[in-house]
Amino acid sequence: MFSFSKFFLASSLEEAYTELLKNKKNIILGGTSYLRMGNTPWNTGIDLSNLNLNYISETEEFINIGAMTTFRQLETNILLKDFFGDIFNVALRDIIGVQFRSNVTVGATVFSKYGFSDLIPVLLSLDAKVKLFNGGILSLEDFLNEQNIRKDILVEILIPKKYCKTSFQCVRKSKTDYSIINLAICNFNNKITIAVGSRPGKAMLAKKTMAILNLSENIEKEIVNAMKHIGDEIPLDSNMRGSKSYRELLLSALLRKGIQEVLN
Amino acid sequence: MLLTTTINGRKKEILIKDDDYLLDVLRKEGYLSVKRGCDTGACGLCTILLNGSPILSCSTLAARAHGKQISTIENFPKEAKTFASYMTAEGAEQCGFCSPGFTLTVIAMTKELQDPTDDEIMHYLNGNLCRCSGYISQLRAIRNFMEEIKNENC
């Protein structure tokens, strides 16, 4: 059972970061829905609830999502829907229930780089960036590949403002289970971005498949070709939810469905 | 730490451990309508309203309820009774163990969604599992309940 000996309600990011560095067993608390499934005894749980990090706002270039924003807020937000269609709603609405999604935070999910995440592929396909308290702003892709960031605070997610067509595809064994595989696709001015998650490893971009589609004069004609390549490009594996070969078949089929959705 | 919170309209001061979850605190305080089910955040039995929004008390740290309003099913006697009559009429009520959490989620939904479709209702409630009655009869009961609320508001 997850436990910690001290609850620390931070009054500033500086204070939270200082507290985080005091002990390697100090941890930033997100929604704690997944953290509580572990057995690690932590020293101090640092809470960011009072830092006004619960927001979805816009600047000239970006949509900014605070680290303490919940999945439920993403799912129902009009601004996100205006720019990116239904992708946040479709990707998140089947994650357990409203009560759960009202608790789970964007910051904890992204910082933890959960391989089963339905949100991370969506953000990856939208070319999102992460803002870290100490590490500054870096692309989500770089952040996911970075191994050395362990003690930092994810402050916000920045998504470039662009009106695009999007699609989220996934297969689950039951309605509210984790995805066996998921796929987020974005079409911005006929430039396709594809992110694959629940491989079961952490989400990644299908860059070669994207290149096949984006270099083509007629994307629709290249779909079959892309379906053949994506399985070679994206490393898939087996786990209790599905075998590697099943995932290969699903990925290919979901790619076709998703590309067709963002072209129409 | 000392948790100061309001439960069903009454201000409370409760001594808690820093890592206590709300479910354990509420049950220790005698709010036994808040049920422990899966204890992993999946079943919705432990649902309560925190500042009016449904949350899972098994996954919410009690310390985070400091200064906030907690509502359990006892805070909604009229709505709970009316909804229970529709559940019974549709054969949607059997063992009843999931009912407090389920009813609270329905009450929250009626405040949040205006005229929801069946699909929206099912998505709102997909975090409330029921082992015995099946979901179609529940859906009929919810529609009838929402119809009554709509008529009352007209």
Residue-wise pLDDT tens digits, A175-222: 888 999 999 999 999 999 999 999 998 999 999 999 999 999 899 899
The answer to whether residue A5 scores a pLDDT higher than 90 is yes
Interface test with B, best of A99, A109, A178 (most B CBs within 10 A): A99
What is the number of other CB atoms lying within 10 angstroms of the CB of residue A12? 11
Q: What average pLDDT does range A156-174 have in this prediction?
A: 96
Task: Tell me what pLDDT residue A63 has.
Answer: 98
* Beta-carbon separation of B55 and A99 below 8 A: yes
State the DSSP string of B49-106: EETTEEEETTSSBGGGGTT-EEE-GGG-HHHHHHHHHHHHHTT--SS-TTHHHHHHHH
Q: How far apart are CA A63 and CA A75, in angstroms?
A: 15
Q: How far apart are CA A249 and CA A200, in angstroms?
A: 14
Task: Tell me what pLDDT residue A167 has.
Answer: 98
Of A3, A4, A100, the CB nearest to B56: A100
The answer to whether residue B134 scores a pLDDT higher than 90 is no
**Structural contact between residues A45 and A123, judged by C-beta atoms closer than 8 angstroms:** no
Q: What is the pLDDT of residues A71-104, one digit of tens each?
A: 999 999 999 999 999 999 999 999 999 999 999 9
**Structural contact between residues A106 and A71, judged by C-beta atoms closer than 8 angstroms:** yes
* Tokens found for residue A31: 């929604």
Closest CA to B59 of A250, A14, A191, A70: A70
Of A4, A36, A175, the CB nearest to B126: A175
* Beta-carbon separation of A102 and B53 below 8 A: yes
Of A32, A97, A175, the CB nearest to B128: A97
Closest CA–CA distance from residue B153 to any residue of chain A (Å): 25
- Report the DSSP pairing between strands B47-50 and B69-71: antiparallel
Q: What is the pLDDT of residues B35-77, one digit of tens each?
A: 999 988 889 999 999 999 999 999 999 999 999 999 999 999 9
Task: Tell me what pLDDT residue A34 has.
Answer: 80
- Identify residue A260 by its one-letter amino acid code: Q
The answer to whether residue B133 scores a pLDDT higher than 80 is no
The answer to whether residue B154 scores a pLDDT higher than 90 is no
- Report the DSSP pairing between strands A41-47 and A3-9: parallel
Cα radius of gyration rounded to whole Å, chain A: 19
Q: Is A188 helix (H, G, I), strand (E, B) or coil?
A: strand
Closest CA–CA distance from residue B42 to any residue of chain A (Å): 6
Average per-residue pLDDT for chain B: 93
The answer to whether residue A241 scores a pLDDT higher than 80 is yes
Q: How far apart are CA A87 and CA A123, in angstroms?
A: 10
Contacts of B63 (CB under 8 A, 6+ apart): A7, A9, A47, B1, B3, B16, B18, B20
First to last CA, chain B: 47
Q: What average pLDDT does range A144-172 have in this prediction?
A: 94
Of B55, B64, B128, the CB nearest to A102: B55
| Chain position carrying tokens 């900014």 | A64
Task: Tell me what pLDDT residue A172 has.
Answer: 94
pLDDT band per the 50, 70, 90 thresholds, residue A40: confident
pLDDT band per the 50, 70, 90 thresholds, residue A38: confident
Q: What average pLDDT does range A32-40 have in this prediction?
A: 82
* Beta-carbon separation of B41 and A100 below 8 A: yes
Using alpha carbons, list the distances in angstroms from residue A207 to A115, A166, A192, A228, A263. 19, 17, 10, 14, 18
Across the A:B interface, residue pairs with CB atoms under 8 Å apart total 77
pLDDT band per the 50, 70, 90 thresholds, residue A36: confident
CA B75 to chain centre: 10
* Tokens found for residue B54: 């449904």
Closest CA–CA distance from residue A61 to any residue of chain B (Å): 31
Closest CA–CA distance from residue A98 to any residue of chain B (Å): 6
Percent of chain B with pLDDT over 90: 82
Give the nearest chain B residue to A35 (CA atoms). Answer: B59
Chain B environment of A2 (Cβ under 8 Å) = 19
Using alpha carbons, list the distances in angstroms from residue B23 to A72, A171, B41, B47, B57. 21, 32, 11, 9, 5
pLDDT band per the 50, 70, 90 thresholds, residue A18: very high
Task: Tell me what pLDDT residue B40 has.
Answer: 85
* Beta-carbon separation of B63 and A94 below 8 A: no
pTM: 0.94
The answer to whether residue B132 scores a pLDDT higher than 90 is no
Chain A environment of B109 (Cβ under 8 Å) = 98
Q: Which of A60-64, A258-262, B36-40, B61-65 has the lowest mean pLDDT?
A: B36-40
Average per-residue pLDDT for chain A: 94
Q: Which long-range contacts (CB under 8 A, 24 or more apart) does A176-179 make?
A: A176/A94, A176/A95, A176/A96, A176/A97, A176/B42, A176/B126, A176/B127, A177/A241, A178/A116, A178/A241, A179/A116, A179/A118
**Structural contact between residues B65 and B56, judged by C-beta atoms closer than 8 angstroms:** no
Which carries the bigger pLDDT value, residue A215 or residue A149? A215
Of B18, B41, B126, the CB nearest to A6: B18
Q: What is the ipTM, given to two decimal places?
A: 0.91
pLDDT band per the 50, 70, 90 thresholds, residue B150: confident
Task: Tell me what pLDDT residue A58 has.
Answer: 97
Q: How far apart are CA B149 and CA B110, in angstroms?
A: 8
Chain B environment of A86 (Cβ under 8 Å) = none
Q: Which of A60-69, B25-34, B94-103, B126-135 has the lowest mean pLDDT?
A: B126-135
* Beta-carbon separation of A103 and B60 below 8 A: yes
Element (H, E) at A3: strand A3-9
